[in-house]
């Protein structure tokens, strides 16, 4: 990375030109052979960009406030893939679906192409100079009437904004809809620390979540999931932690719990306190002064649980050291959320988890809370705000309509937005100064104490816009006066100064410090853990908060891990990736419990009118067993009226139902609604067919007791009294045993004539640990990004034509006649069978077997008979019924295409390739350098992304390889083993905390 | 073959001259009704052609495909038409070898039906593939890539089976036509005469020609006969050699062949009953012929009945949950209506033909034949719909045909009808020479020939 | 166009008459008769006393060529660029049987047709006069004879019951 | 051997259809890599840019003389095509590379000087020269240059690109966008003939 940004950027310009016209860039010609006419050389040869060779830059993800570290893969000057930075303490090389989709924010067609001023209600393009002059003049005149509303992650910019507003005596409000205000306030109340603590799920042996969706949206989800997999993923020696989840709706986190209890909304506080009471009793500790106490019976009364269950939880919780209780999730954020978090703090205190699994001093990034926001809004209404700068925030969409923020905004004389897109807020502004995407600009983020992530421009901006930092600095100079002191020539310079100061504070030389930070993606220092003791200040109300309004149902809005608070909705990847829980794509829905649905006689897809005191919305129904019968759940993130073509017309915005936010946070859970059938239908575009596995042993599971004994799936089934239905006769089984040798023999004989790859033939294989997989869908989004998979849109998904190469199947177990519903997630990529049924039926050898054990698919040979897809027992082959790629990758989306992967044309079959381009790439390098491929240096996009590390890829012929080791785990099994297709993917059965008797491996019930 | 061997009640009143006259009379200038029919057929064909153009332009997505259903109406129709063909070859080739007397009057028409049905079917492998413009990659021709097709693929077997079937049945038809065309030539006048004499390859019916001809005809029949059994067996292996529950059945070959003949004879009724009336061939194609064909229908229909039963029995008896699910859903699943519109006409309706009254009543035969056509189309549809629920429940899905599916289906009927109508009006639909074979020539001396 | 053959052409209505005549003529040494009739007829074929048609040889050779070619093609093409599919052997004979059979039938029947064409159409005796009614209900017997002989032949034919006799000049 | 094999195959397979259709797929008569281009480069290096239109190969915006650079001055290919040894892409020399020499070198005769002036103007205008592409392979083919250079040595270039050192203006000696061309070579050298070696 050169020090002179301007120069390196101008280089990258030509790189990008070259990238798009030559150097094997995957353009949409797909399988056609249309000729590239021009070869455009670099003007100046860049030392860090070689055509055909990927260049990696370290950066920081800004999709949410977790601040994960990134490694950005660029080709010919274009960012083509985002991956986690292994050195980063938060995500340790992993990345969630939202992070993967960051690219689609970068290359989004909805991006604004230059500064725009509203004159007479319509927008007109203006020059940057005019825009900055205008801003400077307005800011200069605003004085104390200057206000900034920023959703940007904490970092140098936030610091600058603070100084910037302070200079004029104005105000800065940092607004993050999903910040954990309740948790922070509770910490203040119980421990006197005004901060959001960090949690260690890896250490915890028993995890209780009171509606804290730590796998969906609560806190740094990638880190949570990684740690959760560590403790909750089964290992013979380490055992397996237990996870209990209390909330009216089972979110993805709930579905990954060993026990989910849909307790009465708002009753969590009593439950937590009761458990704390039992613990204190057990361990003979005195309750901290002022801590309220709730008896088990009262709690049972409040929650609707059995008293003995509650004491059981308490005892198990106490027995496991250390344990962890968490609260404060969006789905359970009711008026009493602070009390709840306080109670949970007491519970952790009683269990002695403080400093163990709950640590202070981390000071996670957070906003200023709803109170500050409300104050700002009042000031706006009072006309005290002259100039409002909205930075990376969309409050008009993200706050309840009843809160009337839009009206307040209208009262501000001059409104400026730095939004990259025309969204609900920026469209209301007078001036838009489109900023740069995090991958195009200099910036940094400070998600928690001790972690400073850097962002650097990895490519020339897609549109000639400017970093908001630069704009503000320039505007300050124009404004002069109190702003004159912000004299840094550029944001990069300003940033470097701050980092120089950081270096100084650490007694380091600024230049080296900076260079190292750039290379590592930032500075990572261990957080200074602060010991705390319980000093209960202020009472903890134990009774459930009132649910306002009337109606038979309580409204449970919840945040989806893909769309988050609605910022993901303009990214087609996130819309096409099915919601991990409901498997619905592209459009909003309303969730009803089967009983409630039966009572109202509602079928899936019937449009329901949900009405509250504040408004009503209409959306199709989805019947979901993971709900209390007396609640309806609605996903957040839909209902955009602006924010680009992809976000529009995706159903209603749940916020229309909520009352105005009062106090410190929005009480998402706290509205009663009535549900009414409209007798109109709208088919729900879900990717799931039959949610039951009909005893076909697709998603196997076994009780932890058996797993610990090292039983295989079949043994476990037999032990549990469900002897597996044997289809293969002895003779057949014998035949199978001899089969592999026969295959190898053939490969040696005729395989040799096919030529040989570097060294001996590897045998590529994969293992997927269902005990670790949480169904988060990061792998399928990563696959979209890596393999140029086009999205097909709602109408085609309704026809089941989505092209997701690795789909996450979600099967329900139980849920009938009172027993709790269990979800099992199965990532289903191509199984690369040795005995692949798809191969022999292809009349043109487009599907065939490579010498290194891949199930090859030659797109340009495929004529599209589709027999292979019919004959695939796993149904993992996908057909281009239309020219999907052409339709999907409209400019500038085509810049994100991976040049190493052919874009498939209409009429050809496509499927998971085990990232064959990565394999061949590694083999080319191995050939050139002469160094053989080492285990682990080559992996697939899905395995790379998986936050749980559930997917492992490697060479099965190498006895030392990790994948080979794992494949020999007793829990290992092949899906549909009986049909003898010999898949290359070994699944490790899920392990459940259940009495062996109840565990019905392979799904008990038949059709 | 369970057909009557009693001698054909040849009409004593008829002489050879009558036969020639009557058959040549069928070639008289066509009426309005004929042209109406013809234009109707051409219209349907155009609908299909336009649909195909749109599909080639926009993609197969226009049709109702819904994964996991990667094949549907097109392949259904393909198998349907291939099946139709079989009755023709059966009657013209196998019954010839059996010397069964009742074939002579009807075999020419059925033979023509075969050729045109296979002609229609042969279009579908091209229509249904994703990149129609490179269909020829399925042929083993030398190319600069040094690539060959995969002969292990049932689809390649199909290519050869259909190709062979089309070539052989076409040449069989034309070969049989030569002497008749000569006969027509000798009656015709003007430009028609020139055309027919070209087509007749100067056939004169000399002793020398006849002696090669009749031997060759015998060998051709002998070669064509196994095709009746092989072609639909190969087609059935397109399904049977896969591992999809509902396709993966060892009874498929005989089951499909029986079905093919059943549907074929059904189509023969549908075509011949009106044709006979229109061309006034009542005294050549008589109840006796229909009765025998009805018996053939009954026979094959009963085989189908058995096969259906067997499929369900095997599914149940195998204890294989995949098979069981498939067949359960076939009858009671979301697409139950398709399942029953296959079983009722094929298995049950055919049983009505036990009654001679129904066998000899043309109206009832005609109505039944229509149901047979529908039923047999649905049989293939239902079998292919097994895809909706195979191994992985999560991937299950139903599909609904769209206008594109129906457009192509209509087009195929138009295409077939067009050719058949043109043939019926321009070539003898009854084999003159073979009818004559069964009418003794006048003798000087009394007494039959030794 | 070959020049016409001189001879006598007789038309018969009665088959037994025709047969007797043909036998008689052959007995008298007329070897190169041409007999016209409208449909395959055993009596006449016997009367003409031909040997079995050699066309079956074409069928046999064609069929054999077909089956050999089919297997040769499939085995060679599979070995020419061997690709593993579904763990099956490169040369999987059972899979080749179908095409083996199809090509047997295909080439066999094409060869047969070729045979007939060669023997009966291409090699037909040109220049012998013909009457349209032979494809209808009459049997024609043409006896190549010239000059005086023609007269005797005509007489004999009329006695045998020919309904019509024509003379063809060279 | 292959030719005869093909003939057998053809005859056996489907005679007529095949013959017709193979025409569509551009069956090539070219068997095996053809010898480097005939020594038809003019002896003296005095071709005016005007003549370049009459030379083989597409006319380039600047009449760049491979025969002078690679031939007369013996500059190795990799001096300009810098990434060929370690990347799938050979790399087009940056304008900077050109100017590295042509800051000083002004050309021997007026004709050459004219061309070099074009280059310098482009450099001053910071406008990259848009060369006409001569060799290309279809999008669905991945040709790793580095692997071939490694396997066949630095002089591998001529095998596909012909004796560029003798071409005043580069033309396509071999149709490299032709699978048969690749396969012949792979067969001769008995190297990998797996589909996914190039197609993925």
Q: Which residues of C touch B237 (CB under 8 A)?
A: 98
**pLDDT score recorded for residue A729:** 57
- Quick check: B394 and A690 CB within 8 A? yes
Across A952-961, C60-69, D49-58, least confident range: D49-58
**pLDDT score recorded for residue A731:** 60
Interface of B with A in 8-67 (CB under 8 A): 58-61, 64-67
Q: For residues A783 and A945, what is the distance between their CA atoms, to the nearest angstrom?
A: 9
Whether residue A726 has pLDDT greater than 90: no
Q: For residues D39 and A57, what is the distance between their CA atoms, to the nearest angstrom?
A: 48
Per DSSP, the three-state class of B254 is: helix
Average pLDDT estimate for B245-260: 90
Average pLDDT estimate for A296-310: 86
The pLDDT confidence band at residue B447, using thresholds 50, 70 and 90, is: low
State the 10-residue block means of pLDDT for chain D, 200 residues long. Answer: 44 40 38 42 54 77 87 87 87 86 82 86 86 86 90 83 88 88 87 87
DSSP E strand stretches across C22-161: 34-36, 139-143
**pLDDT score recorded for residue B2:** 38
C-alpha gyration radius of chain D:
20
Q: What letter does residue A391 receive in the DSSP assignment?
A: E
Listed residue (A553, A602, A1004) closest to A816, CA to CA: A1004
* Chain C interface test: which of A747, A749, A839 (most C C-beta within 10 Å): A839
**What is the pTM (predicted TM-score) of this model?**
0.89
Whether residue C42 has pLDDT greater than 90: no
Q: For residues B137 and B143, what is the distance between their CA atoms, to the nearest angstrom?
A: 10
The pLDDT confidence band at residue A755, using thresholds 50, 70 and 90, is: very low
Average pLDDT estimate for A561-569: 88
Nearest Cβ partner of B243 from A688, A862, A979? A979
Distance from CA of C55 to the nearest CA of A (A): 37
Phi/psi for A3 (5° steps) reads -80, -30
- How much of chain A, in percent, has pLDDT values that exceed 70? 89
Nearest CA in chain D to C68: D12
B190: left (phi over 0), alpha (psi -120 to 50) or beta: left
Q: What is the pLDDT of residues B56-109, one digit of tens each?
A: 999 999 999 998 999 999 999 999 999 998 888 888 888 888 888 778 888 888
**pLDDT score recorded for residue D25:** 39
Average pLDDT estimate for B191-206: 86
Q: Which residues of B touch D (CB under 8 A)?
A: 136, 139-146, 148
Nearest Cβ partner of A839 from C82, C86, C89? C86
Q: What letter does residue A877 receive in the DSSP assignment?
A: E
Q: What is the pLDDT of residues A477-512, one digit of tens each?
A: 888 888 888 888 999 999 999 999 999 988 889 889
Distance from CA of D176 to the nearest CA of B (A): 12
- Quick check: C87 and A834 CB within 8 A? yes
DSSP bridge pairs for A671: A548, A555
Distance of CA D118 to the CA centre of its chain: 24
User: Does B70 touch chain A if contact means CB atoms closer than 8 Å?
Assistant: yes
- Quick check: C137 and B148 CB within 8 A? no
Listed residue (A992, A945, A987, A989) closest to A256, CA to CA: A992
> Helical H runs in A542-647?
572-576, 594-600, 644-647
Q: What are the C-alpha distances in Å from A878 to residues A215, A875, B153, B254, B395?
A: 29, 8, 20, 33, 12
Q: For residues A44 and A54, what is the distance between their CA atoms, to the nearest angstrom?
A: 18
- Quick check: C90 and A982 CB within 8 A? no
- A912's CB contacts (< 8 A; 6+ apart) are A783, A805, A806, A829, A830, A832, A876
Q: Which residues of A touch C84 (CB under 8 A)?
A: 746-747, 750-751, 839, 848-849, 851
Sign of CA dihedral B208, B213, B218, B223: positive
Q: What is the pLDDT of residues A906-937, one digit of tens each?
A: 999 999 999 999 999 998 888 888 888 888 88
**pLDDT score recorded for residue D21:** 38
User: Does A128 touch chain B if contact means CB atoms closer than 8 Å?
Assistant: no
Q: For residues C30 and D62, what is the distance between their CA atoms, to the nearest angstrom?
A: 92
Distance of CA A125 to the CA centre of its chain: 35
Nearest Cβ partner of D94 from A43, A755, A848? A43
User: Does D1 touch chain C if contact means CB atoms closer than 8 Å?
Assistant: no
Average pLDDT estimate for A453-463: 88
Whether residue A1 has pLDDT greater than 70: no
Q: For residues A260 and B165, what is the distance between their CA atoms, to the nearest angstrom?
A: 64
User: A: neighbours with 3+ CB pairs under 8 Å?
Assistant: B, C, D
Other beta carbons within 10 Å of A615:
17
CA dihedral A418, A419, A422, A425 (to 10 degrees): -80
Kindly tell me the burial class for residue A738, based on how many C-beta atoms sit within 10 Å of its own C-beta (0-12, 13-18, 19 or more).
exposed
Nearest CA in chain B to A887: B58
Q: Which residues of C touch B445 (CB under 8 A)?
A: 16
* Chain B interface test: which of A865, A876, A877, A974 (most B C-beta within 10 Å): A865
Q: Are A843 and C85 in contact (CB under 8 A)?
A: no
Q: What are the C-alpha distances in Å from B118 to residues A156, A276, B122, B411, D17?
A: 76, 80, 6, 15, 19
What average pLDDT does the structure give for chain A? 84
Q: For residues C105 and B222, what is the distance between their CA atoms, to the nearest angstrom?
A: 10
Q: What is the pLDDT of residues A121-152, one digit of tens each?
A: 888 999 999 999 999 888 888 888 889 999 88
Distance from CA of A808 to the nearest CA of C (A): 26
Q: Are A701 and A824 in contact (CB under 8 A)?
A: yes
**pLDDT score recorded for residue B106:** 84
Nearest Cβ partner of A755 from D85, D97, D191? D191
Nearest CA in chain B to D175: B144
Listed residue (A337, A339, A272, A265) closest to A633, CA to CA: A265
User: Does A875 touch chain B if contact means CB atoms closer than 8 Å?
Assistant: yes
Q: Which residues of B touch D13 (CB under 8 A)?
A: 139-142
Q: What are the C-alpha distances in Å from A263 to residues A527, A675, A735, A928?
A: 36, 21, 54, 62
Q: For residues A61 and A447, what is the distance between their CA atoms, to the nearest angstrom?
A: 10
User: C: neighbours with 3+ CB pairs under 8 Å?
Assistant: A, B, D
The pLDDT confidence band at residue A224, using thresholds 50, 70 and 90, is: very high
Q: In what order do the strands lie in the sheet with A522-524?
A: A443-448, A451-455, A522-524
**pLDDT score recorded for residue A47:** 65
User: Does C90 touch chain D if contact means CB atoms closer than 8 Å?
Assistant: no
- Quick check: A41 and D139 CB within 8 A? no
- Quick check: B149 and A843 CB within 8 A? yes
- Quick check: C73 and D195 CB within 8 A? no
Q: For residues A236 and A709, what is the distance between their CA atoms, to the nearest angstrom?
A: 8
- Quick check: D82 and A27 CB within 8 A? no
- Quick check: D12 and C81 CB within 8 A? no
Q: What is the pLDDT of residues A263-298, one digit of tens each?
A: 888 888 888 888 888 888 877 777 777 777 888 888
**pLDDT score recorded for residue D52:** 67
Per DSSP, the three-state class of A326 is: strand
User: Does D68 touch chain B if contact means CB atoms closer than 8 Å?
Assistant: no
Q: Which residues of A touch D187 (CB under 8 A)?
A: none
Q: Which residues of A touch B76 (CB under 8 A)?
A: none
């Amino acid at each position: 990375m050169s020090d002179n940004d301007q120069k390196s950027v101008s280089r990258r310009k030509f790189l990008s030109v070259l990238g798009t016209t030559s150097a094997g860039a995957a353009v949409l010609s797909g399988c056609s052979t249309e000729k590239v006419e021009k070869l455009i050389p670099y003007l100046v040869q860049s030392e860090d960009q070689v055509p055909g060779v990927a260049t990696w830059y370290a950066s920081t993800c800004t999709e949410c406030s977790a601040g994960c570290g990134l490694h950005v893969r660029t080709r010919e000057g274009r960012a083509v893939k985002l991956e986690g930075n292994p050195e980063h303490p938060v995500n340790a090389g992993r990345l969630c679906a939202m992070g993967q989709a960051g690219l689609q924010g970068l290359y989004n067609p909805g991006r604004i192409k230059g500064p725009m001023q509203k004159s007479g209600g319509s927008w007109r393009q203006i020059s940057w100079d005019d825009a900055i002059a205008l801003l400077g003049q307005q800011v200069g005149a605003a004085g104390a009437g200057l206000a900034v509303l920023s959703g940007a992650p904490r970092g140098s910019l936030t610091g600058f904004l603070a100084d910037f507003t302070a200079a004029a005596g104005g105000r800065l409000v940092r607004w993050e809809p999903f910040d954990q205000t309740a948790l922070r306030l509770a910490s203040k109340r119980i421990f006197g620390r005004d901060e959001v603590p960090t949690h260690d799920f890896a250490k915890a042996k028993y995890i209780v979540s009171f509606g804290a969706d730590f796998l969906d949206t609560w806190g740094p989800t990638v880190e949570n999931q990684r740690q959760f997999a560590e403790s909750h993923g089964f290992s013979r020696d380490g055992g397996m932690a237990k996870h209990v989840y209390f909330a009216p709706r089972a979110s993805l986190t709930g579905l990954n719990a060993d026990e989910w209890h849909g307790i009465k909304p708002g009753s969590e506080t009593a439950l937590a306190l009761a458990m704390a009471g039992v613990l204190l009793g057990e361990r003979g500790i005195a309750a901290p002064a002022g801590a309220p106490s709730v008896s088990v019976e009262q709690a049972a009364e409040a929650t609707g649980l059995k008293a003995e269950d509650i004491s059981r939880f308490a005892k198990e919780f106490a027995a496991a050291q250390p344990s962890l209780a968490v609260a404060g999730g969006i789905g359970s954020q009711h008026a009493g959320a602070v009390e709840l978090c306080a109670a949970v703090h007491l519970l952790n205190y009683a269990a002695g988890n403080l400093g163990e699994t709950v640590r202070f001093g981390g000071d996670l990034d957070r906003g200023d809370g709803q109170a500050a926001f409300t104050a700002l809004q009042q000031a706006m209404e009072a006309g005290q705000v002259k100039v409002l700068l909205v930075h990376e925030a969309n409050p008009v969409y993200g706050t309840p309509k009843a809160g009337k923020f839009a009206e307040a905004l209208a009262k501000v004389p001059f409104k400026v937005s730095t939004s990259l897109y025309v969204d609900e807020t920026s469209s209301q502004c007078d001036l838009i100064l489109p900023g740069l995407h995090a991958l195009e600009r200099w910036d940094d983020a400070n998600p928690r104490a001790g972690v400073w992530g850097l962002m650097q421009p990895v490519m020339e901006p897609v549109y000639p816009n400017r970093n908001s930092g630069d704009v503000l600095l320039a505007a300050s100079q124009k404004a002069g006066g109190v702003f004159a002191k912000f004299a840094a020539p550029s944001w990069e310079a300003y940033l470097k100064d701050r980092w120089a100061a950081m270096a100084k504070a650490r007694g380091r030389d600024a230049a080296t410090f900076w260079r190292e930070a750039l290379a590592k993606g930032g500075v990572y220092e261990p957080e200074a853990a602060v010991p705390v003791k319980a000093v209960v200040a202020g009472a903890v109300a134990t009774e459930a908060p009132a649910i306002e309004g009337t109606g038979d149902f309580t409204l449970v809005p919840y945040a989806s891990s893909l769309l988050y608070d609605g910022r993901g909705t303009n990214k087609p990847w996130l819309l096409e990736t099915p919601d991990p829980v409901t498997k619905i794509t592209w459009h909003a829905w309303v969730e009803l419990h089967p009983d409630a649905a039966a009572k109202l006689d509602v079928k899936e897809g019937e449009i329901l009118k949900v009405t509250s005191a504040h408004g009503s919305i209409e959306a199709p129904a989805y019947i979901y067993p993971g709900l209390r019968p007396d609640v309806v759940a609605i996903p957040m993130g839909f209902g955009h009226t602006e924010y680009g073509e992809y976000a529009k017309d995706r159903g209603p915005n749940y916020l229309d139902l909520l009352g105005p936010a009062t106090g410190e946070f929005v009480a998402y859970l706290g509205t009663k609604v009535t549900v009414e059938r409209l007798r109109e239908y709208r088919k729900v575009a879900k990717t799931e067919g039959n949610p039951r596995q009909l005893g076909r042993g697709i998603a196997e599971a076994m009780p932890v007791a058996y797993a610990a004994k090292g039983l295989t799936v079949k043994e476990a089934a037999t032990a549990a009294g469900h002897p597996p239905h044997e289809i293969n006769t002895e003779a057949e089984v014998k035949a199978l045993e001899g089969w592999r040798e026969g295959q190898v023999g053939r490969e040696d004989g005729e395989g040799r004539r096919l030529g040989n790859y570097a060294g001996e033939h590897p045998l590529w294989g994969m293992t997927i640990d269902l005990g670790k997989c949480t169904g988060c869908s990061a792998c399928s989004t990563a696959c979209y990004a890596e393999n140029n998979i086009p999205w097909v849109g709602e109408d085609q998904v309704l026809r089941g034509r989505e092209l997701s190469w690795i789909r996450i199947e979600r099967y329900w177990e139980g849920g009938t006649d009172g027993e709790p519903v269990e979800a099992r997630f199965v990532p289903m990529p191509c199984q690369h069978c040795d005995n692949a049924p798809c191969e022999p039926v292809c009349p043109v050898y487009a599907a065939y077997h490579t010498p290194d054990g891949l199930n090859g698919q030659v797109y340009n040979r495929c004529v599209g008979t589709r027999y292979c897809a019919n004959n695939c027992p796993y149904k993992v082959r996908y057909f281009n019924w239309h020219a999907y790629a052409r339709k999907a990758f409209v400019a500038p989306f085509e810049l994100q295409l991976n040049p190493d992967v052919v874009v498939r044309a209409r009429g050809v079959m496509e499927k998971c390739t085990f990232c064959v381009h990565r394999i061949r790439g590694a083999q080319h390098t191995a050939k050139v350098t002469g160094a053989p491929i080492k285990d682990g240096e080559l992996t697939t996009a899905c395995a790379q992304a998986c936050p749980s590390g559930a997917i492992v890829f490697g060479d099965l012929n190498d006895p030392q390889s990790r994948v080979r080791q794992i494949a020999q785990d007793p829990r290992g099994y092949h899906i549909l083993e009986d049909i003898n297709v010999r898949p290359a993917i070994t699944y490790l059965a899920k392990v459940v905390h259940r009495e062996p008797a109840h565990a019905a491996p392979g799904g008990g019930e038949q059709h | 073959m369970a057909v009557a061997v009693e001698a054909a009640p040849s009409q004593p009143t008829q002489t050879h001259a009558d036969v020639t006259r009557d058959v040549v009379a069928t070639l008289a200038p066509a009426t309005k009704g004929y042209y109406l029919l013809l234009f109707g057929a051409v219209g349907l064909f155009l609908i299909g052609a336009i649909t195909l153009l749109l599909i080639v332009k926009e993609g197969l997505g226009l049709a109702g495909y819904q994964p996991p259903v990667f094949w549907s109406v097109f392949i259904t129709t393909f198998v349907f038409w291939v099946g139709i063909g079989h009755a023709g070859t059966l009657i013209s080739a196998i019954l010839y070898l059996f010397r069964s007397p009742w074939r002579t009057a009807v075999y020419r028409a059925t033979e023509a039906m075969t050729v045109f049905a296979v002609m229609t079917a042969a279009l579908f492998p091209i229509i249904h593939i994703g990149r129609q413009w490179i269909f020829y990659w399925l042929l083993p021709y030398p190319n600069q890539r040094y690539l060959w097709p995969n002969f292990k693929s049932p689809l390649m077997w199909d290519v050869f089976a259909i190709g062979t079937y089309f070539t052989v049945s076409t040449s069989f038809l034309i070969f049989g036509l030569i002497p008749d065309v000569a006969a027509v030539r000798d009656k015709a006048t003007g430009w028609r005469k020139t055309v027919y004499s070209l087509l007749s390859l100067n056939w004169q019916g000399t002793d020398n020609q006849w002696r090669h001809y009749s031997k060759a005809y015998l060998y051709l029949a002998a070669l064509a006969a196994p095709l009746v059994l092989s072609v639909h067996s190969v087609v059935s292996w397109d399904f049977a050699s896969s591992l999809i529950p509902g396709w993966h059945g060892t009874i498929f070959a005989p089951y499909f062949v029986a079905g093919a003949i059943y549907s074929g004879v059904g189509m023969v009724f549908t075509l011949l009953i009106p044709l006979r009336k229109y061309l006034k061939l009542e005294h050549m194609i008589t109840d006796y012929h229909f009765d025998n064909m009805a018996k053939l229908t009954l026979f094959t229909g009963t085989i189908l009945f058995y096969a259906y039963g067997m499929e369900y029995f095997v599914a149940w008896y195998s204890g294989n949950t995949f098979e069981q699910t498939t067949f359960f859903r076939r009858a009671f699943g979301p697409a139950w209506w398709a399942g029953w519109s296959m079983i009722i006409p094929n298995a049950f309706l055919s049983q009505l033909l036990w009654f001679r009254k129904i066998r000899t009543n043309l109206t009832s035969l005609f109505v039944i034949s229509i149901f047979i056509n529908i039923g047999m189309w649905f049989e293939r549809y239902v079998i292919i719909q097994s895809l909706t629920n195979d191994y992985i429940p999560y991937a299950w899905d139903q599909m609904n045909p769209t206008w594109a599916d129906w457009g192509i289906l209509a087009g195929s009927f138009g295409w077939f009808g067009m050719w058949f109508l043109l043939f019926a009006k321009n070539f003898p639909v009854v084999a003159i020479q073979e009818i004559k074979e069964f009418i003794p020539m006048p003798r000087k001396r009394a007494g039959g020939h030794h | 166009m070959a020049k016409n053959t001189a001879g006598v052409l007789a038309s018969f209505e009665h088959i037994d008459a025709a047969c007797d005549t043909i036998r008689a003529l052959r007995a008298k040494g007329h070897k190169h008769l041409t007999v016209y009739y409208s449909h395959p007829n055993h009596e006449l074929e016997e009367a003409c006393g031909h040997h079995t048609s050699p066309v079956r040889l074409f069928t046999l050779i064609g069929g054999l060529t077909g089956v050999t070619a089919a297997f040769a093609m499939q085995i060679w093409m599979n070995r020419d660029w061997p690709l593993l599919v579904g763990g099956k052997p490169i040369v999987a004979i059972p899979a080749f049987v179908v095409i083996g059979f199809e090509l047997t039938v295909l080439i066999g029947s094409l060869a047969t047709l070729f045979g007939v064409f060669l023997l009966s159409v291409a090699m037909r005796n040109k220049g012998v006069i013909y009457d349209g009614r032979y494809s209808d209900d009459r049997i024609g017997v043409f006896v190549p004879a010239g000059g005086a002989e023609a007269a005797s032949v005509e007489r004999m034919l009329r006695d045998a019951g020919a309904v019509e006799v024509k003379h063809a000049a060279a | 051997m292959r030719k005869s094999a093909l003939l057998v195959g053809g005859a056996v397979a489907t005679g007529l259809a095949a013959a017709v259709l193979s025409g569509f797929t551009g069956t090539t008569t070219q068997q095996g890599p053809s010898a480097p281009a005939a020594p038809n480069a003019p002896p003296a290096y005095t071709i005016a840019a005007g003549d370049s239109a009459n030379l083989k190969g597409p006319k380039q915006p600047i009449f760049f003389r491979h025969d002078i650079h690679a031939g007369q001055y013996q500059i190795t290919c990799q001096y300009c095509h810098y990434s060929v040894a370690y990347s799938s892409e050979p790399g087009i020399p940056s304008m900077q590379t050109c100017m590295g020499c042509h800051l000083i070198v002004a050309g021997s005769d007026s004709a050459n000087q004219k061309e070099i002036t074009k280059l310098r103007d482009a450099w001053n205008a910071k406008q990259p020269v848009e060369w006409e592409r001569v060799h290309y392979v279809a999008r669905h083919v991945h040709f790793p240059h580095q692997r071939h250079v490694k396997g066949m040595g630095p002089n591998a270039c001529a095998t596909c690109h012909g004796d560029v050192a003798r071409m005043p203006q580069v033309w396509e000696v071999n149709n490299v966008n032709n699978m048969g061309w690749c396969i012949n070579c792979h067969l001769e050298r008995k190297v990998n003939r797996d589909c996914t070696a190039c197609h993925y």
